[in-house]
Structure formats: C-alpha cells, structure tokens
Structure 1
Amino acid sequence: MFRANMRVYVLLLIVFYLPVRSFSVMAADLSQSADEALVAQKPNLSAGPALHVLIDKFVQNRHADYARLASPLSDDAEFLRRIFLDLTGRIPTIEQTRGFLNDQRPDKRAVLVDQLLNSPEYARFVSQRLDVMLMQRMNKKYFNVSTWEEYLRTSVAENKPLDQLVREILSADGSDKAHQAKARFYLARSGEVNELTRDISRIFLGADLTCAQCHDHPEVADWKQDHYYGISAFLIRSFVFTDKKKKQTVFAEKAEGEVKFESVFEVRDKTSKGPETTLPAVFDSKKISEPTFKKGEEYKVKPAKDVRPIPKYSRRAQLGNAITRENRRFARTMANRLWAMLLGRGIVHPLDADHSDNPPSHPELLDVLTDQLMAHQYDLKWYLREIVLSKTYQRSSANELFEDKTANDLSDAQFTHALMKPLNPEQYAWAVMEATGLAEVHRNSLKTKLSEATLRKNLLGYERQFVSLFGGVPGEPVKEFEATADQILYLSNDQRIQVILPARPGNLADRLMKIPADQTAKLAEELYLSVLTRSPLPSEKQEVTTLLAGKKGSDRAVVVTDLIWALLMSSEFRFNH
C-alpha cells in the first residue's frame, strides 16, 4: 500500500481525519426555465402550488436573511452524486456521469429523478432504509430475514402506501406461513412488551417514552405515564408461541390481561392509591373499548397445552388503525423521518423528541408536509420526489466559501445549505464497488442474466462486510458517524479491499492503465469522474501528473492503484454532500 509514494499515504491519513469540508465548486443557480420545468413535471392533485414549491417558500420565509445566507444550487456533478446515493444507494457509473453532465435539457434533473424512482435499485435501497428504521439491524430470529427484506422490497417497488405497510406489520401474527415475514417486527423483539412499546412510540409516533414507563416523563411535560401504558395495553395480552407440530413460531394472544402501573415517585412519597390500569389508547386519542363475552366464551380456540389460543376479540388487531388512521402524529412523524433521510436532519430533531419543549425548526413547513402526505394517501414515491425537486434539497454544500457568514447564521436547522451525510454501510459498499469498477466487472460477466437482483446476489458478500463493520450495534438506533480503528484498518489493509483495486479486465485500474502515459490529464479526468463524480481541479490534475512522472510498467500500476485508494479514503468520498 502506497509503496510508490509515501507522500500520498501520509496526505490521505491526514485527509481522513480532518473535519469534512465541501469539495464541490460553487455553481450558478439554475435558470428560471429549468425551475419552471421542474414544477411542470408532476401534475398537481390540488389547486395550490406543488409541494416542492411550498417547501422552498416555507424554508425561505423562516429566516429573514435567507437569500444572503443560502448556498446556490448545487452544480450538476454534486446533484448527480447526491441523488444517486439518496435514491439508489450507489454513485453513478462513469457513463451515467458523462451522459448527465453533457445533457443540455433544462429539465434533466427532473427526468433523472423519475428514472431513478422507477428503477429496481430505488426499491432495493429505500426498502433497506425502511428496514433499518424498523428493525435497527436486529439479528435473525425465528425465520429467514431474507423473506422480510423481500417483503419490504416488493412493497416499495409496488409503491404500497406507507400507512398500509405499517398496518400490515402491526397486525401480523406470523400464522400464515406465506406472509410470516410481516411479523418480524414483533418476533425479532421476542414479543417483549416494554421493548415493543418503546420502539412503536419512538419509530411511529416520534416520542421516546422510555422514561415514562415508571413515572410521568421528568423532562418532557407532554409525555405521561398513561401514554406509555396506553400503547402497552394493545400488546399486554400477546406472547411468542411456538407450535411444535407445525414447527412454526407466531405472535399469539390471550383474551385477558390488563396493564397495571403506578408512579415510583408516588410510591416513595407514600401517596399512591395503588396500581392504575388503562384501556388501549394512542396518546390522548379516545380509549378503545372492547366487547364483553360470557365467561368461557372469550375464545375461538381456547388455551390448552401446546395449543395456540385465538381470542374472539384481538386488542393488538386495533393497534395498526389506532396508530395510522386515528391520529395525525403518525403522519407527522413519517413526514419528518423521510425529510431527515434526504436532508440529513429532521424538522423536529432529534426525530424521537417531538414535544412542545422541542418545537420544529419550521412548524408551518412540517404542517404542510404532514397534510400533503396524508392527502396523497401516504404515497412514498410522490413524497420523496417532491422533496428532491425542491431548491432546498438541491442547495450546494459549499457554504463556507462565503466569508461574511457566521456559524450561527449557518445553523444546520435553517437548511441554508446541503448537510454532510456519512454514507450508510450499504451506500459505502456500493460506492466502493462502483468506483473501483468491481460492479462493472460483474455486470459484464452476467451478460444476458444481468439484473439488479443477480448483480446484488454476486456482490452481497461485499455489502455484508461493510454492514458488519459500519452498521453499529444490532438492535440499537443508528448513531452519529464516528470512524473507528477497526474501520480504518479494514479500509487500509484488509485484502478484501486491496484485492479489488489492481487492474483486471473492465475495472477502473484497467481503464486507467490503458490511457497513454503522456495523457495524464485524461487519466485524471477518468479517475475523478469514476470515484468522485466530478472533474478534477487543475491542481489535482497537476498532482496526478507529478505522481505518474517517469513511472512505467509495474511502478506505474502501483501509483495508479494508490491513487484510486487515496480517493476512496478521502472524506469527500466517505460523505454524501
């Protein structure tokens, strides 16, 4: 590694640890005609302006000096890399990069967005984002995880309404083997009521109610103990049951059982009147009453040894509707989570801290996003499309070039510029495989059998390596980016990385080695477009020329390989910007 030039090695170690800066060159704003073309792409389902127009209006109106503070729109190269990573989980091929940069159509950004949203890669990647949101990379339990992954992928490919998807998951018990995957949300958590209560409130309702389990939340006046147990009451009768004859595990339910709770503060003060109970309810929504049955008639299938009980009335079956149909908070939380997925930060931030003491940065905008998501029947593809067509999403990250801006002026919460987002493990894996040409080698080898599914099957091992190293602790929410020694050692020395760098037919190093030695500017262009999705700066071209000067044969091959590795290790590559 870096045998040819230690200076490159030392330089890249410094770059890897330096705070991330914007690497894109400032671009002029899109022309008015291009902006009008973006607006015209999607017919409005209402009489008012398109959502992406409203997004820009409410973001700009929130800050009196927004016009001065805001970065211009990204140039085509910056936008291209960002939109590919956000919608497909990979960087574009060099052919796709050249094609887009040479495209002179004023509406080419909207055209590209629609192409990506209708690609099989979009369905795969967005389903992975939903998987991480719902399951936090939990380990396999009770059945093959691939069936769950395929369920999510198919749902996204069909553009299943997001509220419908959530209702299916929350109503599933796993008894139907053909659709058992839907029950993974419950089964992977072993049906543990407190864990489910916390995750349901956090993921779907934007409220981390952990501290409300034992008492009203000590720091958030909005969150009460009975909010926690109102959700818990939907689940208190449920449990994991394994049918030994069928060799099948399901999330079963009894006909009886109530939550009981009392504040630990009252117990200590000796003012408690004894345990309380509550019917199922989602926050302050109406409590859900249930039918009564004569004693002994509560079951379709009565409890018995090794027999799964089936009650006539299921509390848990009411949960999906109560979450998605009977309270606006679900739509608000999903609107905020999807916004954060693309913009790098929620309008309510942190995402699970939606309460009156932590107001949204743009309350009018969040209301509009919530209203529109509901009005468009939780159309995931439509919603993501509107966000990425906005100027707010398309801003450059190059804000620091304005010397008259202060840190306070450029608060991330103002969305005056694109935020740096560390690549998630899947993005990082596929970006590396695309940049080095490994993905192209496998595309060529598959020939007529090539598809998104067959390519991923061939390269799944590489993806899993990155997930295992960069995916965090299974079962815990994703944390902020932090490079670890293990990650650096893997990227620097692991043979599974080093082996894909040298030239082999069809990969990047092979293409670079075929460029004549006296055309280093062309080599630099091919290198930077392939790895960083942009042309090199004059200083970068000169650096490549200097490093390759006088190098022939194997010495030149070593320098070429080191140059590829150097760009892969840069902060510019590691982040979506």
Structure 2
Amino acid sequence: MAAPASVPTCLTLPKLRDLMRLRSIPQLVFCKVILVAGSVSAFSAEVPLHQQIDSLIGGGNQQFEKEAAPLADDATFLRRVRLDLTGTIPTVEEVQAFLADTTPEKRTLLVDRLLASPEHARRMQYVFDTMLMERRRDKHVPAAEWRNYLRKSFLENKPWDTLVQEMLTVDGTDEKTRPAAKFLLDRELKAEVVTRDLGRLFLGRDLECAQCHNHPNVNDYLQRHYHGLNAFLSRSYLFKDPKTKKMTIGEKAEGLVTFTSVFTNEEGKTAPRMLDLPEIPDPEKKKVLYKVKPAKNVRSVPVYSRRLQLADAMTNPANLAFQQNIVNRLWAMMMGRGFVEPLDMWHADNPPSHPKVLALLTKAFQEHDSDMRFLLRELALSKTYQRSSHVSADAEFPEEVNFGVGLLKPLSPEQLAWAMMQATGVTEKTLASVKAKQVKEDAKKGTKQADDPQWQEEKLHEALKGNVTSFVTTFGKVGAQSSRFDASANQALFLLNGPLVQSWLTPSGTNLTARLKKLKTAPEIAEALYLAVFSRLPEQTEIEQVAAYLKVSQDQPDQGLPQLVWAALSSDEFRFNH
C-alpha cells in the first residue's frame, strides 16, 4: 500500500461521509472542510434534560425521526464520546469490554466515568486554552502555569462564571493567582485586542468593526457596545514591577470613554456597560481617590475600580448573552456546529437554528450554577448527540443544521497526537515504564501511587507532552478557531515522512506493528488493526482488503505492516470524529 502521490482537493463533509460508508482503508485525505432567547416549552421536572433536547430538536416535525439517522452503534459511540470527553480513542480492551457489556445503561455509566476522569480535565484544558488564548505566543504568563490553572479548575469542576470571575479580576501581583491573569496580561491590555476578545469569546459577538462606527453590515453591533466594553478597562494599564520585573495591572481613578463615528462625525460617550444593558455609573467622587497613589515606579490602585466591575457585569444573570455564548460553544464542541455559526457572529440576521433548545439549555445551565460538566453530560446522553453519521446510500441525507445526523468533527492537534499514540501503543508502553519506575524508586508507596488514575495521567502527560507539542506546532493555527478542516503540505509530509510518526510504526516491544507481526492470519491482523486504530471490528470486505494487501506485500515484510498501519492512521475515518 503505497503512500499517496499527491494531496486530493477539498472534499465536502457529505462526500467524506460517502467515503466513510464504504469503510475501506482509504488514502490520506486532506480537505477544507448566532442568540436570541426562545421560549422554553413546558416539560415536567421529571423529564431529564437530554430527553427534552431530543423532543425540541425535531421541532414538531412528525417526519423528523424517520428522516434522521439512527443511533450510532456501540463502537462508534464509544470512540466518539471518548474523543469528545477525554481527548483520545479507547484502548482495545475498552472496546472489547464495551461491546461485550449487555447492561442497558452502559452508555450512561460510560459518560459518568469519563466526566469524572482526570483525562476529562486535561481535555477541557486543551479546549479552553485554545478557545481563550487561541495559540498565542507567551508574553507575560508562561503557558504551562496557565494550562495547569485550567486543568486544576476543571478537576474541581469550577463553574464557568467563577472561572471567568477569576480571569477578569486578578491583577498579576499574587503569584498564586497570577496564572489566571494570562487572558489580560498576554493581550497587554490593548483596547482593540481585549475589547474585541471580550465580545467574541464571552458574548458571542465580534464587535471589532464597531470601534470607529456602527457596524456596516450588522445592524445589532453598535459603536456604544464596543466602547461600553472598553470602558471597563480604559483606565487600566500594564505596570512593570521594578523588583520582580514582571508585568502587572495598575489602574487610574479617572478617565472617560468618548467616541466619534467616522461616518457621521456624531460624538458619544459611555460608562461601562454590557451591550444594551444599563450603564454602570461611577460612584460620586470622594476626596480620597486612591488606595495607592500614582508615582514613579508605583502601581496605582484606585478606591473604585472600573476593571473590577467587569467580571460582575459579565457574569451577572441579567447578561444573558454570556450564558448563551458558553452554551452555544459547548454544544458546538459536542455536536460539531453551534446553534449560531460562526460562534462569534450572533445577531438578528444570524439567529440560532434552534432557539427553543438554546433557551432550554441556557435556563438549565443557570439553574445548575454554570456547571459545565452537568451540561456536557446531558448533551452526551441525548439521542441528538448519539445519532450515526452514516446513512444508507439511497437515503435523503438530513440537513446538517437540523442535527438529524452525527456531524464529522476534525480531530484537534492534541486529539490527533493522543489518538495516534494510543493506537500505535506508545501510550501503553510509556505508562508501563513510568509505573515501573515509580514502584522501583518507592518500595513502600510506589505501587499504590502508580495505581492512582490522576498520578498516571499527570506522569503520562509529562512524558509525552513533547510529542503533543510537535503535533500542535504542525497542525495548530494561531487565531480564531474554526470547525473547518484546512490542511497543508507540511501536515501531509509530517504524517508521511516525519521521524516521530515513523518511529511509532517500526515494530518494537509491544507496539501495534510488533503485535501484528506475531499474528498468523489476515483475519487476525485485520481485527487487531481495526480495534486499535478505528475502535471497531472490521467488516468482511475490509478483512479481504487486508488479506489482499498482505499477499502483494509479502516480499517486503519489514515495510508491509508499517505501511498498513500508516494508511489506517492517515485515513479520513481516523482523522475525524464521526
């Protein structure tokens, strides 16, 4: 099975699904692949949220269930939810055990187990680091400290509003809380950067084009919206501590925000505000304006801080856009697209596809104190999430926006790295090594510690983070993230000839190619390959394809199996969560 000579042109998602229906070992495929509150229908409090979601998704269309895809089989569901909630594919043993399990509630038990695992916290660390920092280069807060802060927050299941409160109130002076200041410090408090990102990432509205005038294309985005956000931070500035040489945040006690439209020359001014919510006026001036007065090499601290009003205003229940935005983003994470797309272009002319579902989820999210784990659980248990991405060749394919079919999601660089290491046996080998080392170094407590799931996850991540970084460097993109799949020649070459991936394919110890080499028959090899790479059993036609390939490659035994594994890892079925 030779490597592809060239990279195919763009394939649409439906075309990719057509390929996946064939379920053959394909060549390497690269392609380029908004909220108003709706009324919530009355449901009994005894009806689980995930069932309410499914009732509303159909929108009263009696044909919906007939047109929608059926539930995915157990193997597909296991792989999908493992990738979405823990960032990697299941082990062969997990697949075999799940397929053999006849417990009716096994999917619910699986979701609960994954959400409680340390791998889930790491997965959410990756997701929110990418969402909030967009792979920017470090400036003032090391990425490792920030990511550790995120991971610990998700281990604690910290509510979303609490997490945002911390990020927007810290000033960087306390070493214990400094990592949370990365959101503001690494943007250097530049008005045009911070204001835009506050709107995009926390409110779902990209207000950049409303800085100098009302948005020319979006009637909902006004100049006062942009400057109302900017007013929270307009008095703040970066201060370099003369002793530690570290940047922190200082603030002045005075300063107004005024603006002039470059189109109409109309002037305006605003106090801090969230979109169309009331302005937050400064208190009456007092004789003492500062706790720490401005001076040379002194970080000034006012008695009244506009910046400290930002977190309270952002997370205030009256600011519905804040809650709706995170619900939309978590839905997109699980389902493959948001109710509003793009995620940061929420306005009247780009409304949510399912306003009632969004309103239902937002209300439930608020009632559960912004518990992201709760929301992810309900999404994962819904039929909407569990639908197959496959339909019969003669079926009319449901529209993607209706969520009547499972949507393909390209693996993130982190997911791709961990999935490849899991499939090829790198993860298993590394974990065995770190556990053996711990037992050897600590005769009394080593075994107990080595069996602790959180210890295992942390040690495994530490040992393999360099590999993950290599994937992020090659496949990651700086800036706003997209659900589109854009690939480059460098990425193709990384998988085709890169020494890292090639080293995983060379038979060694108990890795996948070494295990395949010990098997005698084509059916055995096909089953072991498909369980390890695709998390499912092969179909008869796939067994026959493997047998045919082994026959033509028997003259090159040292290259045949590595190329077979490479082809599977490079396939569209592996590269997407489906």
By the TM > 0.5 criterion, same fold?
Answer: yes
Shift of 1:217: 1.4
Q: 3-state SS of the aligned residue for 1:261?
A: strand
Separation in 1, partners of 2:320, 2:349: 19
Separation in 2, partners of 1:118, 1:228: 39
5+ long unaligned stretches in structure 2: 24-42, 439-449, 451-455
Letter in 2 for 1:464: T
Letter in 2 for 1:507: N
Q: 2:492 aligns with which of 473, 488, 507?
A: 488
Separation in 1, partners of 2:136, 2:501: 26
2:417 maps to which residue? Answer: 429
2:299 maps to which residue? Answer: 308
Task: Compute the TM-score of the two structures, normalised by the length of structure 1.
Answer: 0.90
Q: 1:360 aligns with which of 340, 352, 356?
A: 352
Shift of 1:560: 0.8
Sort the Cα spacing of 1:12 and 1:72 in 2 relative to 1 into closer, same or farther, 3 A: farther
Separation in 1, partners of 2:141, 2:351: 41
5+ long unaligned stretches in structure 1: 27-44
Q: Does 1:133 find its partner at 2:138?
A: no
Correspondence 1:117-516 to 2 at 5 A: 117-267=115-265, 272=266, 275-294=267-286, 297-325=288-316, 326-399=318-391, 401-405=392-396, 410-448=398-436, 449=438, 450=450, 451-473=456-478, 475-478=479-482, 480-516=484-520
Letter in 2 for 1:471: G
Q: Does structure 2 retain, via aligned residues, the 8 Å contact 1:24–1:397?
A: no
Separation in 1, partners of 2:525, 2:386: 30
Higher mean C-alpha deviation, range 556-565 or range 80-89: 556-565
CA deviations over 1:64-112 (Å, ceiling 9, x no partner)? 5212210000001110110010000000111111111111111111111
Shift of 1:480: 1.9
Letter in 2 for 1:523: I
Separation in 2, partners of 1:101, 1:15: 37
Sort the Cα spacing of 1:501 and 1:13 in 2 relative to 1 into closer, same or farther, 3 A: farther
Let me know the Cα RMSD of the aligned residues.
2.0
Q: Does structure 1 retain, via aligned residues, the 8 Å contact 2:410–2:483?
A: no
2:101 maps to which residue? Answer: 103
Correspondence 1:559-574 to 2 at 5 A: 559-574=560-575
Task: Compute the TM-score of the two structures, normalised by the length of structure 2.
Answer: 0.90
CA deviations over 1:475-518 (Å, ceiling 9, x no partner)? 444462111111001111111111111111121011111112xx
Separation in 2, partners of 1:298, 1:179: 26
2:446 maps to which residue? Answer: none
CA deviations over 1:123-145 (Å, ceiling 9, x no partner)? 01112101111111111111321
Letter in 2 for 1:360: P
Q: Does structure 2 retain, via aligned residues, the 8 Å contact 1:16–1:569?
A: no
Q: Does 1:21 find its partner at 2:17?
A: yes
Sort the Cα spacing of 1:491 and 1:501 in 2 relative to 1 into closer, same or farther, 3 A: same
2:542 maps to which residue? Answer: 540
Q: Does structure 1 retain, via aligned residues, the 8 Å contact 2:141–2:186?
A: no
1:38 maps to which residue? Answer: none
Letter in 2 for 1:573: F
Q: 3-state SS of the aligned residue for 1:264?
A: coil
Separation in 2, partners of 1:137, 1:102: 41
Sort the Cα spacing of 1:95 and 1:479 in 2 relative to 1 into closer, same or farther, 3 A: closer
Sort the Cα spacing of 1:153 and 1:405 in 2 relative to 1 into closer, same or farther, 3 A: same
Separation in 2, partners of 1:378, 1:24: 39
CA deviations over 1:244-292 (Å, ceiling 9, x no partner)? 113221121111111110111113xxxx3xx321110101112111223
Higher mean C-alpha deviation, range 374-383 or range 216-225: 216-225
Letter in 2 for 1:499: S
Separation in 2, partners of 1:455, 1:525: 27
Separation in 2, partners of 1:169, 1:194: 18
2:36 maps to which residue? Answer: none
Separation in 1, partners of 2:60, 2:563: 47
Q: Does structure 2 retain, via aligned residues, the 8 Å contact 1:206–1:351?
A: yes
CA deviations over 1:524-543 (Å, ceiling 9, x no partner)? 10001100111112111112
Separation in 2, partners of 1:520, 1:360: 50
Shift of 1:61: 2.1
Separation in 2, partners of 1:398, 1:306: 64
Higher mean C-alpha deviation, range 503-512 or range 449-458: 449-458
Q: Does structure 2 retain, via aligned residues, the 8 Å contact 1:12–1:570?
A: no
CA deviations over 1:172-221 (Å, ceiling 9, x no partner)? 11111111001000011011012111100111111111111111112222
Sort the Cα spacing of 1:77 and 1:122 in 2 relative to 1 into closer, same or farther, 3 A: same
2:33 maps to which residue? Answer: none
Q: Does structure 2 retain, via aligned residues, the 8 Å contact 1:239–1:253?
A: yes
Shift of 1:13: 6.1
2:523 maps to which residue? Answer: 521
Sort the Cα spacing of 1:82 and 1:131 in 2 relative to 1 into closer, same or farther, 3 A: same
Q: Percent identity?
A: 44
Letter in 1 for 2:259: F
Shift of 1:398: 0.4
Shift of 1:17: 6.8
Sort the Cα spacing of 1:294 and 1:13 in 2 relative to 1 into closer, same or farther, 3 A: closer
Letter in 2 for 1:539: T
CA deviations over 1:288-342 (Å, ceiling 9, x no partner)? 11223345x2111111111100000100101111111131111111111100010
Q: Does structure 2 retain, via aligned residues, the 8 Å contact 1:472–1:478?
A: no
Q: Does structure 2 retain, via aligned residues, the 8 Å contact 1:12–1:566?
A: no
Separation in 2, partners of 1:132, 1:224: 28
Separation in 2, partners of 1:342, 1:391: 12
CA deviations over 1:405-448 (Å, ceiling 9, x no partner)? 15xxx221100101010000100011111111111111121125
Q: 3-state SS of the aligned residue for 2:345?
A: coil
Q: Does structure 2 retain, via aligned residues, the 8 Å contact 1:347–1:366?
A: yes
2:576 maps to which residue? Answer: 575
Aligned length: 538
